[in-house]
Amino acid sequence: MSPLTPSPPPLHRYSPPSPNTITNNTRYHKHPLRKLPLIMSTTTQPPPWHAAYPAPKTTPASMTRAEVLALMDSAAASAGKNYILVDLRRNDHEGGTIRGSVNLPAQSLYPALPTVYTMFKAAGIKKVLWYCGSSSGRGTRAAGWFADYLAERGDLEMRSLVLDGGIKGWVKGGSEFVARMDEYDAAVWAAL
């Protein structure tokens, strides 16, 4: 080659991962210069976050949105004193929350149960109402875990309940329910 002709870039060889990092579903292109892994449709999904913890033993009782609204309207009850609403959403925490709720993502709840119980007990909370988007996964699981924790301590004064339908059910209830939300964003709920 003449000094004016640029030399071609060096060829880099791809080294496939070691056998320790190859899953059973990994295959490679047959072309000698293209040893890139082919992604198969049967890839293994990681276990869900809650698989690291025991399944709840207790099926929690529930409250309807109308019962929760009546509790909120009751002169004898006050959020943070007699009852507390716990919003378990994390990545999907958008569009507002029910007034008086605290946000405690479900993914961090199980290891924090002793601390959560101690705080609620010291505050004199009698009803803990758990909810997520629909309360069919995180809400029910969290209410079950907390009910198990109450049972293990023999606490008959505090109740662990799940909000039927979760925040989506609350919003579907209409204007009297939406009026009891903080940071309500109608655009988030337009698809309901």
Domain ranges across the chain: 52-189
Q: What is the distance of C-alpha 112 from the center of its chain?
A: 15
- Segment 128-136 mean pLDDT: 95
Q: What is the pLDDT of residues 51-106, one digit of tens each?
A: 999 999 999 999 999 999 999 998 777 877 899 999 999 988 889 999 999 999 99
11, pLDDT greater than 80? no
Give the C-alpha separation, 13 to 132, whole Å. Answer: 49
Comparison of pLDDT for 42 and 133, the residue scoring more:
133
Task: Write out the two tokens for 58.
Answer: 């207790």
φ, ψ for residue 122 (rounded to 5)? -65, -30
From 67, 57, 56, select the one nearest 137 (Cα to Cα).
56
φ, ψ for residue 93 (rounded to 5)? -80, 90
The CATH fold assigned to 52-189 is Oxidized Rhodanese; domain 1 (3.40.250)
22, pLDDT greater than 50? no
Q: What is the distance of C-alpha 134 from the center of its chain?
A: 11
Q: How many CB atoms lie within 10 A of CB 57?
A: 11
pLDDT band (50, 70, 90) for residue 191: confident
Task: Write out the two tokens for 134.
Answer: 């629909």
Mean pLDDT of the chain: 85
What is the residue whose two structure tokens read 């099926």?
59
Picking from 9-23, 96-110, 151-165, 173-187, which range would have the lowest pLDDT averaged per residue? 9-23
What pLDDT does 93 receive?
84
